[in-house]
Amino acid sequence: MSEEIELKLSLTPEAFAVLPGALKQRGVRFLPARRMVTTYYDTAKGALEKKGVFLRLRVTGGKIEQTVKTVGDGGVLARRGEWNWPLKSAEPDLELAASTGLKVLERRARKGGIAPRYASEITRRIAIVKLGAATLELALDKGLVRAGRRTAEVRELEIEVKAGDPGAVFALARDLLAMPGISIGFATKASRGIALAEGAQERFLRAAEPRLKAAMTPAVAAAAILDDCAAHAAANLQFLAETRAPEAIHQARVALRRLRAALVLLKGAIPPERRHHLRREAGWLASEMGPARDLDVLSAGALKAAAPPQALAASYAALARSVERARRAARAAAVASALSPRAQHLLLDISQTASGLSGGEGDAGIAGLAAKQLERRYQAAMAAGVGVEGADVEARHRLRLALKKLRYAADFFAPLFPKKAVKAVKAELKALARLQDSLGAFNDAAMAPMVAARAAKGTQEGALAFLSGWAAHRAEAAWAEAAGHLARFRKAEPFWREAL
């Protein structure tokens, strides 16, 4: 097995056209283009993909190569296991694939049941770059990913470490990001193919559970969490740029909030200057996308659910048009922020910080620290909930934020607790999620009139008055639901207490 270390850049058509010439001026020359047809194999239900394993056959000229890859680790700078074999025929050799020792492939070698699922048709140009002691391979790709009749275009530059320090990738990527139309890419050809094969209209990425182990030092655990946050943010910023989908904005903001929470939870493991920089930049980007998220929530929620009387129908329709205009403008601003050099450098900063973390001599494992941090977040949430039943919207919002911080900590650290506690952990996380959701519904309803009023800019007072009344009623109902979840949350015994 070899390890593939790679960073991907996404290119607009304009950037793709000028990049070879720009690099030629710097002494980088691409070899003539080669056409590659790559077919990915799996079961009908995606058994390999579910285990993070990919089996493909690539035909380049007269050569056929079989490759197995794992989903790997890392964030923007991905690290994947890779096995390659030359073949004489364009049919997968499952016995060779099983020699990797991956159980899912051993099972397929016994049972069979795989077939072509999707394919890519790519024209690739290769260049080799020397940066200090590092050797990098640049692969400039253009083509299609295809599943049945569905296709997706690909224009990207893959930067792979062939030898030397992987840090050289970051230096080259920062240089290239200065060019218009180049941004961090995260979607792989395989992920695009899976989405096409499944008929998925959306490719946004939800937060993954960090693969932590109790014996990890805080620094190693911090690296894993930062990489996951970088992957979560990068995937959704790319999806936002390509589609402007509302869920991409939401997931990108979740990634940035999780990052900020992690930087506090593990602050002792991260150099202060890096920690402060990442918190500041993540806060900036999240706030840049905040107005778009607020208007998305309003448009899909209160504005759609409220049914005004006929006498206000015209005013309400005009308010909806004002909200939609503001929403389009806010989304355009969010996309511009996502593609800005500042945001793109933040993604590199997260991954580069993670790559520089390692455990020090004598460092204790992460489990003890995790339990203490969970308890601290829990006590903060309990304190925020004191007297909240009779408090104002702002106090209830503070409770919601405290619970979010607890939820992020629980999501990060849940894998560290014994298997016998897994059911309890999952049950408590679900209960916490329900409480958060109901508080979120309360907050959305309470904020709806203010967000709508900003969009209306002093007009449509009748429609706004109706919306305010509807929102107050909805907020009261949401709070009643939240209060029930809060009462149950207060009675539950936290799953981490035994580790304290």
> Longest C-alpha distance within the chain, in Å?
75
Is the same domain home to 197 and 246?
no
Cβ distance 165 to 153 under 8 Å? no
d(CA 142, CA 159): 15
Is the same domain home to 194 and 46?
yes
d(CA 351, CA 173): 12
Cβ distance 154 to 141 under 8 Å? yes
Over pLDDT 90: what percentage of the chain? 80
231 in a structural domain: no
25 in a structural domain: yes
Cβ distance 179 to 144 under 8 Å? no
Query: Looking at 201, 225, 253, which one is the last position of a domain?
Result: 201
CATH code of residue 495 = 1.40.20.10
Number of independent structural domains in the chain:
2
DSSP3 helix / strand / coil % (the chain, rounded to 5): 60, 20, 20
Is the same domain home to 83 and 175?
yes
pLDDT at 201: 55
159 in a structural domain: yes
221 in a structural domain: no
- Mean per-residue pLDDT of the chain: 92
């530059």: which residue's tokens? 157
Using alpha carbons, select from 281, 292, 196 the residue that is nearest to residue 244: 292
pLDDT at 499: 58
CATH code of residue 146 = 2.40.320.10
pLDDT tens for residues 115-156?
Answer: 999 999 999 999 999 999 999 999 999 999 999 999 999 999
115 in a structural domain: yes
Is the same domain home to 191 and 335?
no
219 in a structural domain: no
Using alpha carbons, select from 36, 38, 46 the residue that is nearest to residue 197: 46
The amino acid at 108: R
Is the same domain home to 23 and 124?
yes
Is the same domain home to 195 and 280?
no
d(CA 488, CA 474): 22
Is the same domain home to 78 and 164?
yes
Is the same domain home to 486 and 340?
yes
220 in a structural domain: no
pLDDT at 1: 72
Length of the chain in terms of residues written: 500
Is the same domain home to 383 and 443?
yes
The amino acid at 19: L
- Report if pTM > 0.85: yes
DSSP β-bridge partners for residue 159: 7, 138
pLDDT tens for residues 315-374?
Answer: 999 999 999 999 999 999 999 999 999 999 999 999 999 999 976 544 678 988 998 999
Classify residue 312 as exposed, middle or buried by CB count within 10 Å of its CB (0-12, 13-18, 19+).
Answer: middle
Q: Which domain holds residue 8?
A: 2-201
The amino acid at 165: D
Is the same domain home to 481 and 384?
yes
pLDDT at 301: 94
Is the same domain home to 366 and 291?
yes
Helices 422-456, 461-491: crossing angle, 10 deg rounding: 160
16 in a structural domain: yes
Q: Which residues of the chain have pLDDT under 70?
A: 200-203, 359-363, 419-423, 499-500
Query: Looking at 176, 201, 226, which one is the last position of a domain?
Result: 201
Query: Looking at 201, 228, 262, which one is the last position of a domain?
Result: 201
Is the same domain home to 386 and 444?
yes
